[in-house]
Structure 1
Amino acid sequence: MAAAPATTPDTPAPQQRPGPARPRRGWPVLARTLLACAAGGLLYLSYPPRGWWWLAPLAFALWAPLLRHRRARAGFGYGLLFGLAYLLPLLHWLQAFLGEGFGPWPWLGLTLLEALFFALTGAAASAVSRLPGAVVWMAALVVAGEAARSRLPLNGFPWGKIAFSQVDGPYLALASLGGQALVCFAVVLTGGGLAALPRALRRGPRGTRRLAGATTALLAPLLAATATWPGIGTDAQQGALTVAVIQGNAPDSGLNLLDADSRALRRNHITRTRQLLADVHAGRVPHPDLVIWPETATDVGPDPARDTELGQLVADLGVPTLIGARQRTTTGDTRNVVIVWDPVTGPGQVYTKQELVPFAEYIPWRAIAQWVTPFFEGSRDMLTGTDPGVLHTGVADLGAAICYEVAYDHVVTDAVRGGARLLVVPTNNAWFGRTEMSYQQLAMSRLRAVEHGRAVVVSATTGVSAIVAPDGTITQATQLFTPDAVVQTVPLRSVSTLATRLGTAPEWGMTGIGLLAVVFAVAVRARRRRGSGQTTPQPAAPDQAVPTATTD
């Protein structure tokens, strides 16, 4: 008597009912739920200030199998859990800021909104999980999800991009080639390759192609990053500049800063600048070529030249000074600006912040804003800048990105393309206390340094102020909530990296590839359904198994 055909995980038994192959149940739902949350938690732990960059690929190695051969709605659910587990702790600084006055709702609301993009990514990744080379399409779709949440809604929220977790790891070098999008792609591809490797090994000789694909996905990003590092330069190409960063400090009072006298912040920065001047005269620190104040360290009127106190301070310094200020206009509006203040001619060029913070610097959806922001009462939207942040100081052309703007690719890229030889990031993080927020933001500056081959000077009211070398290394940094000044010579560079030249093209290219993969997967599924509906159902033969990805 003939033996019955053997069955394998990829070969339905002859007695099974015909129809589309169903995914195996695998782990119980509870276990998959916990794994999705664990994966998101690992991604959070990869972020500064910990520096555990290697946890990010591991996070995607845990997440990828949960999406494999699942329906889109299951992928949506696992993506939502992953996003919530990642973003809830990452954005907890928002609760530290607003929790006392508004409860957890602003924090939870923003987290849920951003997690929905991970949910959509999970649904799309599930759809392409049966295609050959699934890990590549999944990595492209994660880039697409990040591109979407960086632009939608209200100009998006690019905080917490996956690439910013990699500033202490080897993948950072890839930022010089394709910006944050390429770094993100490499991290997810590595994780997908790691997830596919055990399945390929279990297949033995039959899994040679799968093993080759998984190994390539695992190692290619690391090898590419390692090969790129020798080309990351830090030398001065157009001379050097000695900069002094002033950190005047402010009370660690969170939301209560709204009731504080804004003149105290100004006084603190004037006092610390005077101390710097005394240190220079005493020979304790080098004489700077440029002094930098942080974001909104003072208020100024429509004509800053009438501020004689600031004018005298800059004249005493004898060097150009960048003043971060909240400027009132003749119409009663305000702008978040950086003013180039010359010691002889006074205030000159003004850069106005382009990417304003929703519900803080401008109020959308005013019908609900009163429930989520302390800036609603009597507020008017700040004016938005339209010009790139290229500042002509007389000693060097600088590129400015004010606070939150450093998360936006185009702000920094436009400044470097406009001729910036050095990047400056004035910021005011006094609202957020001793949370991780300042360290998360500093990571963005470190990635921008490598992306564009420029040194970056971060000037913060309460810290962390820092000098970042063009290779992303922090050469000096301050402590939180401590008056301080950092004086250091930094290189001026003119190199144009591939990432600077390409701009957002890599991000759009990967997004397009990911979306095309989804369209193809949907078309294949629809064709199979039509085919099964037009023929008489027959038991599936052993050699008619649904094809699976070689590196999924």
Structure 2
Amino acid sequence: MTFLLRLSVAGVGGLALAAAFPDLGWWPLAYVGLAALWLSLARAQAWGGFLYGWAFGTAFMLPHVWWAHEAVGAIPWVALSVASGAFYGLFGAAWAHVRRSGMLRGGVWAEAPVFAVLWAGMEQLRSVVPFGGFPWGRIAFSQLDASVSALAWVGGAALVSFAAALAGALLGGGLEALMRRHLVTGLAAPIAGIAVVASGMAIPLSPQGEGEELRLAIIQGNVENPGLDAFANAREVTANHRDGTLELVATDPGPIDLVVWPENSVDYDPRTDADSAAMVTEAAQAAGAPVLLGTNDYSPDDGRYNTSLVWTPGGMVLDTYAKQRPAPFAEYIPLRSIARNFSDEVDRVTTDVLPGEGPATVDVPIAALDRTVTIGTVICFEVAYDPIVTGSVASGAEVLIVQTNNASFGDTAESTQQLAMSRLRAIETGRSTVQISTVGVSGVIDPTGRILQETELFTAAQMYAETPLRTDITPAVRFRLVWQWLPLVVALGFVGSAVSRRLANRYEW
């Protein structure tokens, strides 16, 4: 293939991968996209591999994170897409080194697994650097309607991404073999890829709990004027969530153990603001249960905390959790003086969010169970980060609640992309999971990743759910440190060995 043809194939592959994610959700196109990347990288040198990979990654990220354009404008959206695309460029360069080093024998059967390891390692690298990483767009999050997603129970997002990349590589390797008139390999490799995707059917997922349930009143209050300026409507948002709680209670849905409100549902901290305290207390008393809500804690002198807290009908705070991974350039501004040169939207963030400490959990006494239940409290983008979710369950969480605020992203796929992540986390941890948003999409998810209830965007809605509690630990949680770092370590090992081998061959007399 010529340079322009390879570049075009890589770009089309990136667009195909984007279509695999919500809202389109055409998950088989993930394999088509990776097959296109495989073909574009065939016989590429390292710099060519970087360029084709970068084209692929940028073409993928531009439509995938279109919600960033909705929130902060064109320049930050393009910058995020191009910067994220560079990681795919690193993958392309790494794969070129490995494939040209001669270290792999056995054709596609040896090459495809290494391609998949490098892919999973690249995703892990992108999840930790820079500024704490940006895991959005991991291929695992596109596979929730495919049986391969069940592998998350064993190895989390890392194993699902590896398997999906392996299937895509086998498809690409099969097409390459057919182009070379190797008929047997050309037909066998894609069939092997189908078997990889189907392997998740062997995982014993179950929606059942261990006998006890937590009865939740889940409130999506909505806001009339969404966007970045929606934070100015804090009173309206809190009142909407109070009113939604009163409406649900009036329908007599059943006993309520906990009322669940989203992130930013009470922007004026009820611990210091009397009006907020009165509205939350009214809702808690009407439900006869504590309220789990999202607020801002401005007590630090050098910033604020994005906080989840449990508020009782008596107006007391039982427990709190502060978000560990504030979103860079959204909740805090790294390199503010430089970032301002690209977009003055950074000045909307006047007080940086500080990182909290401790696991993402709160403890809530449940009278009907005569014991305290530990609840996983994942805030917004934290659902994309492996250590926060698995660490929550390892610390005792029996159910997961993902509190988020999607008001800034308009009618984009951001909320449904996030819901897909919540579905994967349900499988990975074996926990019932609730995603609750100020404006939607909110949903109740069982431990197999199935959506039981779901709301629409920009509507006021309430849900009542009896969610099973679990204390058992999945392999993905038990071996979480292995799955978080093994792909990256193995990938670096392959790349280091390949580069060393090529250098040795270059300078060999």
- Per the normalisation by structure 1, the TM-score is 0.85
**Root-mean-square deviation over aligned CA pairs:** 2.2
- Give yes or no for the alignment of 1:141 onto 2:95: no
Q: Distance in 2 between matches of 1:430 and 1:378?
A: 16
Q: Distance in 1 between matches of 2:9 and 2:94?
A: 19
- Is the CA contact (8 Å cut-off) linking 1:362 and 1:380 kept in structure 2? yes
* One-letter code aligned to 1:247: Q
- Is the CA contact (8 Å cut-off) linking 1:297 and 1:461 kept in structure 2? yes
Aligned counterparts, 1:233-312, within 5 A:
233-257=206-230, 260-280=232-252, 285-301=253-269, 303=271, 307-312=277-282
- Is the CA contact (8 Å cut-off) linking 2:262 and 2:294 kept in structure 1? yes
The answer for the alignment partner of 1:227 in structure 2 is 202
- Provide Cα deviations, 1:31-73, integer angstroms capped at 9, x if missing partner: 2111111100000000012221111111111111221221000
- Give yes or no for the alignment of 1:313 onto 2:287: no
Residue 211 of structure 1 deviates from its aligned partner by: 6.6
- Provide Cα deviations, 1:311-358, integer angstroms capped at 9, x if missing partner: 233123211210111233174842211111122462221111111011
- Provide Cα deviations, 1:259-297, integer angstroms capped at 9, x if missing partner: x332111111112112122222xxxx2232211001011
Residue 253 of structure 1 deviates from its aligned partner by: 3.7
Residue 199 of structure 1 deviates from its aligned partner by: 4.4
Of the structure 1 ranges 52-61 and 359-368, higher mean CA displacement relative to structure 2 is found in 359-368
Match for residue 389 of structure 1 among 357, 360, 374: 360
The answer for the alignment partner of 1:40 in structure 2 is 14
Q: Distance in 1 between matches of 2:168 and 2:379?
A: 34
Q: 1:330 to 1:157 in 2, by over 3 A?
A: closer
* One-letter code aligned to 1:446: R
Number of matched pairs = 493
- Give yes or no for the alignment of 1:172 onto 2:149: yes
* One-letter code aligned to 1:374: E
Residue 525 of structure 1 deviates from its aligned partner by: 2.2
Q: 1:479 to 1:203 in 2, by over 3 A?
A: closer
Of the structure 1 ranges 247-256 and 301-310, higher mean CA displacement relative to structure 2 is found in 301-310
Residue 380 of structure 1 deviates from its aligned partner by: 2.3
- Is the CA contact (8 Å cut-off) linking 1:254 and 1:432 kept in structure 2? yes
Match for residue 399 of structure 2 among 422, 428, 451: 422
- Give yes or no for the alignment of 1:530 onto 2:507: yes
Match for residue 124 of structure 1 among 69, 79, 94: 94
Match for residue 106 of structure 1 among 68, 71, 76: 76
Q: 1:216 to 1:330 in 2, by over 3 A?
A: closer
The answer for the alignment partner of 2:494 in structure 1 is 517
Q: Distance in 2 between matches of 1:499 and 1:186?
A: 15
The answer for the alignment partner of 1:492 in structure 2 is 469
Q: Distance in 2 between matches of 1:390 and 1:463?
A: 23
Report SS of the residue matched to 1:476.
strand
The structure number with the bigger radius of gyration is 1
Of the structure 1 ranges 289-298 and 376-385, higher mean CA displacement relative to structure 2 is found in 376-385
- Is the CA contact (8 Å cut-off) linking 2:13 and 2:33 kept in structure 1? yes
Match for residue 376 of structure 1 among 325, 334, 347: 347
User: Structure 1 vs Structure 2: percent identity of aligned residues?
Assistant: 37
- Give yes or no for the alignment of 1:483 onto 2:456: no
Instruction: Say which structure, 1 or 2, has more relative contact order (CA 8 Å, 6+ apart).
Output: 1
The answer for the alignment partner of 1:62 in structure 2 is 36
The answer for the alignment partner of 2:137 in structure 1 is 160
- Is the CA contact (8 Å cut-off) linking 1:339 and 1:347 kept in structure 2? yes
Report SS of the residue matched to 1:380.
coil
Of the structure 1 ranges 497-506 and 374-383, higher mean CA displacement relative to structure 2 is found in 374-383
Q: Distance in 2 between matches of 1:354 and 1:199?
A: 45
Aligned counterparts, 1:303-382, within 5 A:
303=271, 307-329=277-299, 331=301, 333-344=303-314, 346-370=316-340, 371-372=342-343, 374-376=345-347, 379-382=350-353
Q: Distance in 1 between matches of 2:63 and 2:331?
A: 24
The answer for the alignment partner of 2:436 in structure 1 is 459
* One-letter code aligned to 2:306: N
Match for residue 413 of structure 2 among 421, 436, 439: 436
Q: Distance in 2 between matches of 1:346 and 1:253?
A: 31
Q: Distance in 2 between matches of 1:397 and 1:300?
A: 26
- Is the CA contact (8 Å cut-off) linking 2:318 and 2:364 kept in structure 1? no
* One-letter code aligned to 1:270: R
Q: Distance in 2 between matches of 1:341 and 1:304?
A: 13
Structure 1: tracts of 5 or more residues without a match = 1-26, 535-552
Report SS of the residue matched to 1:457.
strand
* One-letter code aligned to 1:79: G
Q: Distance in 2 between matches of 1:257 and 1:345?
A: 26
* One-letter code aligned to 2:202: A
Q: Distance in 2 between matches of 1:203 and 1:94?
A: 42
* One-letter code aligned to 1:50: L
Residue 477 of structure 1 deviates from its aligned partner by: 0.5
The answer for the alignment partner of 2:370 in structure 1 is none
Q: Distance in 1 between matches of 2:97 and 2:166?
A: 17
Report SS of the residue matched to 1:490.
strand
Report SS of the residue matched to 2:267.
strand
Q: Distance in 1 between matches of 2:77 and 2:91?
A: 22
The answer for the alignment partner of 1:542 in structure 2 is none
Q: 1:202 to 1:88 in 2, by over 3 A?
A: closer
Q: Distance in 2 between matches of 1:309 and 1:202?
A: 67
- Is the CA contact (8 Å cut-off) linking 1:305 and 1:346 kept in structure 2? no
The answer for the alignment partner of 1:87 in structure 2 is 61
- Is the CA contact (8 Å cut-off) linking 2:16 and 2:32 kept in structure 1? yes
Q: Distance in 2 between matches of 1:368 and 1:474?
A: 42
Structure 2: tracts of 5 or more residues without a match = 367-372
Match for residue 403 of structure 1 among 365, 373, 380: 380
- Provide Cα deviations, 1:135-179, integer angstroms capped at 9, x if missing partner: 221111111111111111110111111110111111100111111
Report SS of the residue matched to 1:261.
helix
Report SS of the residue matched to 2:87.
helix
Report SS of the residue matched to 2:15.
helix
Q: Distance in 2 between matches of 1:332 and 1:73?
A: 44
